Amino acid sequence: MKLFNFFSQELAIDLGTANTLIIQDGNIVVDEPSIVALNRSTGETIAVGRKAMQMHEKTHDNIKTIRPLKDGVIADFQAAESMIEGMINMAGSRRKFFTHMKMVICIPSGITEVEKRAVFDSADHVDSKETYLIHEPMAAALGIGLDVEEPIGNMIIDIGGGTTEIAVIALSGIVCDQSIRIAGDEFTSDIMNYMKRQHNILIGERTAEQIKIHVGSALHELETPPEDYAVNGRDLMTGIPKQIFVAYTEIAHALDKSIGKIEDAILKALESTPPELASDIYKTGLHLTGGGALLRGLDKRIEQKTKLPVRVAEDPLRAVVRGTGIALKNSDRFSFLIDRKSV
């Protein structure tokens, strides 16, 4: 058996719009931003992940940085392949000879057949011999320790970078789901637009991301408010760089509309839930995972809207990849994995 393990490589990949995580042998070996830097003239990969992120929005004409995934799916096929290959190489020595590579990759629940095909093709290009797909809400449910095979309804709300996945899970399947393309990236662009409109200051994606982390809030009143955050950007009136301070209440105002849309999608999913499962959800509550779950006061706001208990997962950023890792270990047991051969 040990000899077979030497000739096989098993990877669980959470291919996210904002971050890509890889689990090998039960450990997270890669946790990097989903971005790649390419040489414009040769098309050669210069950097992947964190190094490429440092170059983002700071490049000259000869280098371009690409985020290959948009709204949870592959938007730039070649860049996605370069990124996946670069990250698999980061995961450790690739056993090139006689290697049987097996992968489980997680995908949004609202993905189309064409988008699914693109994920399989990318896996083929990095020599995966056995590829399985798992839907994000299902992976998130496994990752936070829910027993998905039981006849009990659980509602998962996974707020990632590109999509928010809302699903009711029971008996190893997704009973009803809502997948909307409003999530972390949309929050970032809301902050950029707000700074432009309100303060006449132009900021980049990375700065907006930092604002979201430091003073992002879903509520206008927090019990333990964060300190105001210093923002550096370009003054649109004078063209000169300047600094302003931003309070969490302003960011709550900027994100209001997008969070409202997520709330509507949650209510829509609850409306289409069968009554027996709805009674389970009343007892089990809603489970919040993904990077968006870290937004201050979001659980309280959803609680106020739905009048249901909301639980934030212990490590929401890694819940999906942990679940993907569990699915990889038990790929023969779980019927909800989509195998390459059957698509």
Write out pLDDT tens, residues 144-178. 999 999 999 999 999 999 899 999 999 999 999 89
Please, what is the average pLDDT of the chain?
Answer: 90
Please provide the CATH number assigned to the domain covering 145-313: 3.30.420.40
Residue 97 has pLDDT above 70, yes or no: no
Is pLDDT larger for residue 77 or for residue 256?
Answer: 256
Decide yes or no: CATH 3.10.330.10 for domain 2-139+320-342.
no
Give the pLDDT score at 341.
59
Angle in degrees, CA 114, 76, 111, rounded to 5? 30
Give the pair of three-digit tokens for residue 142: 């496994």
Query: Which DSSP letter does residue 296 get?
Result: B
Spell out the domain ranges in the chain: 2-139+320-342, 145-313
Q: At what angle do helices 205-215 and 184-199 cross, to 10 degrees?
A: 100
Query: Which DSSP letter does residue 31 get?
Result: E
Per-residue model confidence as pLDDT tens digits over 287-343: 999 999 999 999 999 999 999 999 999 999 999 999 999 999 988 888 888 877 555
| CA end-to-end distance (rounded Å), the chain | 30
d(CA 271, CA 266): 9
Per-residue model confidence as pLDDT tens digits over 226-258: 999 999 999 999 999 999 999 999 999 999 999
